[in-house]
Amino acid sequence: MDRVIPWLLAADPWVRYRTLLDLCGRGEGDPETIAARGEMLTHPRIQGLIGELAAWPGRVLNSHKSADHPIHKLTFLADLGLRKGDPGLDRVIDAILAHQSPQGPLEVMMHIPVHFGGTGKDQWSWALCDAPLLLYALARFGLEDVPAVLNAAAYLAGLIRENGWPCAGNLGKFRGPGRKEDPCPYANLVMLKTLAHLEGWREGREARIGIEAQLSFWRERRDRHPYLFYMGTDFCKLKTPLVWYDLLHVAEVATLYPSVRRDPRLLEMVDLIRAKADGQGRYTPESVWKAWGDWEFGQKKQPSAWLTLLVYRILARMQATAA
> Is residue 109 within 8 Å of residue 61, measured between CB atoms?
yes
Measure the CA–CA gap between 81 and 244, rounded to whole angstroms.
Answer: 20
Q: What single letter denotes the amino acid at residue 311?
A: V
Cα–Cα dist 247/103, whole Å: 32
What is the per-residue pLDDT across 6-45, written as a single tens digit (0 to 9) for each? 999 999 999 999 999 999 999 999 999 999 999 999 999 9
**Among 144, 151, 100, residue whose Cα is nearest residue 126:** 100
> Which domains are seen in the chain, by residue range?
1-42 (no CATH), 58-322 (1.50.10)
Q: How many CB atoms lie within 10 A of CB 268?
A: 12
Burial class (CB in 10 A: 0-12, 13-18, 19+), 195: buried
Confidence of residue 224 (pLDDT cuts 50, 70, 90): confident
pLDDT one-digit tens code per residue, 129-174: 899 999 999 999 999 999 999 999 999 999 999 999 998 876 666 6
Contact 129, 191 (CB under 8 A): no
